[in-house]
């Protein structure tokens, strides 16, 4: 959840570290810090509560601290409130070690007590300080030896960057269950929690695996396994442009990423459609496996879970196999019924969400096969899956996901068609109908995005409502869940999404004159049923914002206060169109409310703590 960057080379490290942190700030943004070693100056540490700008102003953009090796960190607090002293880097009592950390040290209390008994004085409330102090405790002149002893002593999930004042020609990087990449340059090297921080300087990266330790110098990188035996890493070339991780004239990354969805859909889907067929070269399934498959278990968190909810409706219909969707954070602890004939579909934009990763490992331990849908190439979930399909959405920076959600949905359509074809559960006519509509979908997405001014107007009518409900049935319900999450995470308005038929079993008591209900009625087989629910809330005084397809727009407009229309398409693909107005609505509501849209309070882009 935090951002880590490290640099070693010939240039001044400060500005490079701050530049890297500015690209990682979406991972955590309650405080930030730098540790830079300068000849004659020793280890200099500057930390500041608040956004990165505070640190940048304090250090004149990093230029005020001299030295060509250092670490930077932007924090999302877990242990200890956001404050200067709890910010990273955390430093050992003797000032020799500085440590930046992403993750949680689970046994830090016990280690802290142990060190306190030895006379060590702690200054912060963080679990990370334990690591800095433990390094000092074990250090006898051998840096890697001390690191190794610390790793054997701590439990939990972590990515560390470590600098030692005795060895200023080295940076140490370590990871377990938290991402860390190495950027390989000419005469310099970098470490970071995300490629976005290094891409300006080098496109050659390698991915540290769990338990590995890397030592970076100006001229090279040596990686060791958990037993400190040297190991070789494969270099990967990152081929996306730096502009993909910049705002490109938009006020917010979220706005840019919403508008990028037609293109992201094209990039994800079109190369996988050849001569009217879905071609998934990345997958290795056959008919025998799919026939024997007892269940498809979808595992994910947040918006990725909502993709799973939509996929369930489509996949069960297409495959005639049971599909169970479960929150990754629940999966591990619910004694799941998984056999070797169970396929788990793991959905994650980042590929690093710890709940999803842990659930996936549990599913594999129980014998299930794992197919993952991931956006970040080389991420842990992608690497540990039996099969992976990448969403080619490009880097997603805004904390609230939009284009990753859309491309995940797109991949579930492709997987559904591919499996149904192998199983023989889809007619050629139906198959062709869906593929034709897939090809038309980007243009239809563009048409929906053209309605953004109208949606902004609607947002201006309702932006100060204290509570907003979303109702829908079937696929519309699944999309309502996402619309509601989008709204609450960036605008801080209380919101709930309900299966429309369920409303009268309790929640309708919350509807009173003026309550806003967003009613999704694009799934036409259930249009009339949904409209009955709309009448129920209208008769209790609700304002209703309706969302439906063009062909039912006039019908809906007779009953609701405002209608948003999306183009008709194959019912299976409706979520892709429906979600856009809801993303735009959330965005404009948050804009009216003056919220920090790309960095909503309390959130971080990649949730690497349980
Ligand atoms: O990277 P992942 O897809 O695994 O992330 C899962 C959720 O944390 C994520 O979708 C979260 O709900 C977003 N903030 C929603 O906008």
What are the percentages of helix, strand and coil residues in the chain, rounded to 5?
40, 25, 35
Ligand 1 atom at minimal distance to the Cα of residue 486: 16
Across all residues in the chain, what is the average pLDDT?
A: 94
User: Does the structure show a pLDDT above 70 at 1?
Assistant: no
Going from the Cα of 249 to the center of ligand 1, the distance in angstroms, rounded, reads 25
- In this structure, is residue 572 part of a structural domain? yes
Kindly state whether residues 232 and 335 are assigned to the same domain.
Answer: no
- Is the CB of residue 353 below 6 angstroms from any atom belonging to ligand 1? yes
| Range in 7-21, 63-77, 562-576 the model is least confident about | 63-77
Kindly state whether residues 39 and 153 are assigned to the same domain.
Answer: yes
CA 126 → CA 99, 183, 230, distances in Å?
Answer: 12, 28, 32
Mean of the pLDDT values across residues 359-382? 95
- In this structure, is residue 45 part of a structural domain? yes
Kindly state whether residues 276 and 207 are assigned to the same domain.
Answer: no
- Is the CB of residue 372 below 6 angstroms from any atom belonging to ligand 1? no
- In this structure, is residue 265 part of a structural domain? yes
Kindly state whether residues 418 and 473 are assigned to the same domain.
Answer: no
Q: Per-residue confidence at 563, pLDDT binned at 50, 70, 90? A: very high
Kindly state whether residues 188 and 262 are assigned to the same domain.
Answer: no
pLDDT, tens digit, for every residue of 284-336? 899 999 999 999 999 999 999 999 999 999 999 999 999 999 999 999 899 99
Kindly state whether residues 395 and 298 are assigned to the same domain.
Answer: yes
- Strands (E) in 221-280, as ranges, are 221-224, 230-231, 236-237, 273-274, 277-278
Among residues 187, 216, 239, which one ends one of the domains? 239
- In this structure, is residue 299 part of a structural domain? yes
Kindly state whether residues 295 and 425 are assigned to the same domain.
Answer: yes
User: Does the structure show a pLDDT above 90 at 607?
Assistant: no
Going from the Cα of 499 to the center of ligand 1, the distance in angstroms, rounded, reads 22
| Range in 244-248, 262-266, 380-384 the model is least confident about | 244-248
| Element holding 345 (H helix, E strand) | strand 342-348
506 against 528, higher pLDDT: 528
Q: How many domains does the chain have?
A: 3
Going from the Cα of 349 to the center of ligand 1, the distance in angstroms, rounded, reads 7
Among residues 380, 413, 448, which one ends one of the domains? 448
- In this structure, is residue 600 part of a structural domain? no
User: Does the structure show a pLDDT above 90 at 609?
Assistant: no
224 against 81, higher pLDDT: 224
- Is the CB of residue 579 below 6 angstroms from any atom belonging to ligand 1? no
Going from the Cα of 404 to the center of ligand 1, the distance in angstroms, rounded, reads 9
Which residues are within 8 A (CB) of 558 and not within 5 positions of it... i.e. 6 or more apart? none
Mean of the pLDDT values across residues 437-459? 97
- Is the CB of residue 586 below 6 angstroms from any atom belonging to ligand 1? no
Mean of the pLDDT values across residues 164-174? 96
Which pLDDT score is estimated for 142? 95
- In this structure, is residue 336 part of a structural domain? yes
Which residue's alpha carbon is nearest to atom 12 within ligand 1? Answer: 302
- Is the CB of residue 349 below 6 angstroms from any atom belonging to ligand 1? yes
- Cβ of 189: how many Cβ atoms within 10 Å? 26
Which residue's alpha carbon is nearest to atom 4 within ligand 1? Answer: 348
Which pLDDT score is estimated for 80? 75
Going from the Cα of 373 to the center of ligand 1, the distance in angstroms, rounded, reads 13
Going from the Cα of 409 to the center of ligand 1, the distance in angstroms, rounded, reads 14
Structure tokens of 364?
A: 């594999």
- 516-520 β-sheet, strand order: 494-499, 467-472, 516-520, 543-549, 562-566
- Is the CB of residue 328 below 6 angstroms from any atom belonging to ligand 1? no
Which pLDDT score is estimated for 178? 87
74 against 80, higher pLDDT: 74
Q: What is the DSSP string of 28-66?
A: --SEEEEEEEETTTEEEEEEEESSHHHHHHHTTTTTTS-
Which CATH number is 130's domain given?
3.60.20.10
pLDDT, tens digit, for every residue of 479-526? 999 999 999 999 999 999 999 999 889 888 899 999 999 999 999 999
User: Does the structure show a pLDDT above 80 at 243?
Assistant: no
Kindly state whether residues 132 and 62 are assigned to the same domain.
Answer: yes
Percent of the chain whose predicted confidence (pLDDT) is above 70: 100
Structure tokens of 588?
A: 């404009």
pTM score, whole prediction: 0.84
Mean of the pLDDT values across residues 63-82? 88
Between helix 574-592 and helix 475-491 the angle, nearest 10°, is 20
Kindly state whether residues 466 and 564 are assigned to the same domain.
Answer: yes
For a ligand 1 pocket test, name from 372, 374, 401, 595 the mutation site with the most ligand atoms within 8 angstroms of its C-beta: 401
Domain span holding position 401: 249-448
User: Does the structure show a pLDDT above 90 at 602?
Assistant: no
Kindly state whether residues 267 and 415 are assigned to the same domain.
Answer: yes
- Strands (E) in 489-577, as ranges, are 494-499, 516-520, 543-549, 562-566
Which residue's alpha carbon is nearest to atom 9 within ligand 1? Answer: 302
Q: Which phi and psi angles does 141 have, rounded to 5°?
A: 105, -5
Among residues 381, 415, 448, which one ends one of the domains? 448
Q: Per-residue confidence at 24, pLDDT binned at 50, 70, 90? A: confident
Structure tokens of 152?
A: 């054997």
User: Does the structure show a pLDDT above 70 at 182?
Assistant: yes
- Is the CB of residue 56 below 6 angstroms from any atom belonging to ligand 1? no
Which pLDDT score is estimated for 28? 67
For a ligand 1 pocket test, name from 302, 325, 326, 481 the mutation site with the most ligand atoms within 8 angstroms of its C-beta: 302
Which pLDDT score is estimated for 312? 98
Helices (H), 286-427: 287-292, 302-319, 328-331, 354-365, 380-384, 403-423
* Closest listed residue to residue 170, CA positions, set 131, 215, 132, 224: 215
Which pLDDT score is estimated for 282? 82
Q: Which residues are catalytic?
A: 2, 605
Spatial contact of 405 and 308, defined as CB atoms under 8 Å apart = no
pLDDT, tens digit, for every residue of 226-236? 889 999 998 99
Kindly state whether residues 190 and 317 are assigned to the same domain.
Answer: no
Which pLDDT score is estimated for 321? 96
| Element holding 69 (H helix, E strand) | strand 69-75
Which CATH number is 465's domain given?
3.40.50.10490
Mean of the pLDDT values across residues 238-267? 89
| Element holding 446 (H helix, E strand) | helix 428-449
- In this structure, is residue 137 part of a structural domain? yes
CA 206 → CA 180, 189, 377, distances in Å?
Answer: 9, 11, 11
487-516 in b/e burial notation, b at 16+ Cβ within 10 A?
A: bbbbbebebbbbbbeebeeeebeebeeebb
| Range in 14-28, 139-153, 430-444, 542-556 the model is least confident about | 14-28
Which pLDDT score is estimated for 507? 86
Mean of the pLDDT values across residues 590-606? 88
Mean of the pLDDT values across residues 65-70? 96
Q: Is 341 exposed, middle or buried (0-12, 13-18, 19+ CB in 10 A)?
A: middle
Preceding amide of 565 cis, omega within 30: no
Ligand 1 atom at minimal distance to the Cα of residue 350: 1
Kindly state whether residues 225 and 270 are assigned to the same domain.
Answer: no
Going from the Cα of 439 to the center of ligand 1, the distance in angstroms, rounded, reads 27
Q: Can you tell me which residue has the tokens 């608040």?
A: 50
Q: Is 556 exposed, middle or buried (0-12, 13-18, 19+ CB in 10 A)?
A: buried
- In this structure, is residue 128 part of a structural domain? yes
- Is the CB of residue 474 below 6 angstroms from any atom belonging to ligand 1? no
């Amino acid at each position: 959840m935090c951002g880590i960057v490290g640099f070693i080379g010939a240039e001044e490290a400060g500005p490079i570290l701050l530049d890297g942190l500015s690209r990682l700030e979406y991972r955590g943004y309650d405080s930030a810090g730098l540790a830079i070693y300068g000849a004659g100056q020793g280890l200099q540490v500057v930390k500041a509560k608040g956004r990165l700008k505070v640190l940048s102003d304090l250090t004149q953009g990093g230029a005020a601290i001299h030295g060509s090796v250092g670490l930077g960190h932007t924090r999302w607090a877990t242990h200890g409130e956001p404050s200067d002293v709890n910010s990273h880097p955390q430093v050992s009592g003797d000032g020799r070690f500085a440590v930046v950390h992403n993750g949680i040290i689970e046994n830090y209390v016990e280690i802290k007590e142990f060190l306190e008994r030895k006379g060590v004085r702690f200054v912060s409330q963080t679990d990370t300080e334990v690591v800095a102090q433990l390094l000092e405790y074990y250090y006898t002149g051998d840096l890697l030896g001390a690191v190794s002893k610390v790793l054997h002593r701590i439990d939990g999930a972590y990515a560390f960057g470590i600098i030692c004042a005795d060895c200023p020609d080295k940076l140490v990087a370590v990871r377990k269950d938290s991402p860390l990449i190495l950027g390989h340059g000419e005469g310099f090297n970098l470490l970071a929690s995300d490629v976005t921080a290094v891409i300006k300087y080098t496109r050659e990266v390698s991915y540290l695996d769990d338990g590995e330790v890397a030592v970076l110098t100006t001229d090279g990188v040596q990686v060791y396994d958990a037993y400190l035996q040297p190991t070789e890493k494969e270099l990967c070339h990152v081929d996306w442009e730096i502009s993909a991780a910049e705002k490109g004239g938009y006020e917010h990354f979220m706005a840019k990423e919403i508008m990028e969805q037609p293109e992201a859909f094209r990039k994800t889907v079109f190369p996988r459609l050849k001569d009217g067929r879905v071609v998934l070269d990345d997958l290795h399934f056959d008919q025998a496996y799919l026939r024997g498959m007892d269940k498809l278990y979808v595992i994910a968190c947040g918006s990725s879970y909502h993709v799973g909810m939509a996929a369930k409706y489509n996949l069960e219909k297409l495959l005639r196999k049971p599909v169970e969707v479960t929150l990754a954070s629940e999966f591990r602890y619910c004694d799941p019924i998984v056999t070797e004939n169970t396929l788990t579909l793991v959905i994650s934009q980042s590929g690093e969400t710890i709940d999803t990763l842990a659930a996936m490992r549990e599913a594999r331990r129980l014998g299930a096969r794992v197919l993952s849908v991931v956006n970040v190439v080389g991420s842990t979930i992608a690497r540990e899956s039996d099969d992976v399909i990448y969403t080619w959405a490009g880097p997603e920076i805004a904390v609230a996901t939009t284009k990753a959600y859309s491309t995940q949905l797109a991949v579930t359509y492709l997987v559904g068609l591919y499996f149904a074809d192998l199983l023989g559960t889809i007619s050629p006519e139906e198959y062709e109908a869906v593929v034709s509509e897939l090809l038309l979908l980007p243009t239809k997405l563009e048409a929906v995005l053209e309605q953004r001014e109208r949606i902004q107007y609607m947002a201006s009518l309702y932006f100060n409502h204290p509570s907003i409900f979303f109702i829908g049935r079937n696929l519309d319900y699944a999309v309502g869940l996402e619309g509601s999450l989008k709204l609450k995470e960036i605008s801080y308005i209380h919101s709930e999404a309900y299966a429309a038929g369920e409303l009268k079993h309790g929640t309708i008591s919350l509807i009173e004159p003026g309550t806003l209900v967003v009613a999704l009625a694009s799934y036409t087989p259930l249009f009339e049923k949904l409209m009955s629910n709309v009448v129920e809330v209208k008769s209790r005084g609700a304002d209703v914002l309706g969302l439906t397809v063009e062909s039912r727009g006039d019908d809906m407009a007779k009953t609701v206060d405002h209608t948003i229309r999306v183009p008709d398409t194959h019912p299976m693909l409706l979520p892709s169109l429906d979600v856009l107005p809801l993303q735009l609505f959330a965005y404009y509501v948050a804009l009216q409310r003056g919220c920090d849209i790309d960095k909503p309070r309390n959130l971080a882009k990649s949730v690497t703590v349980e």
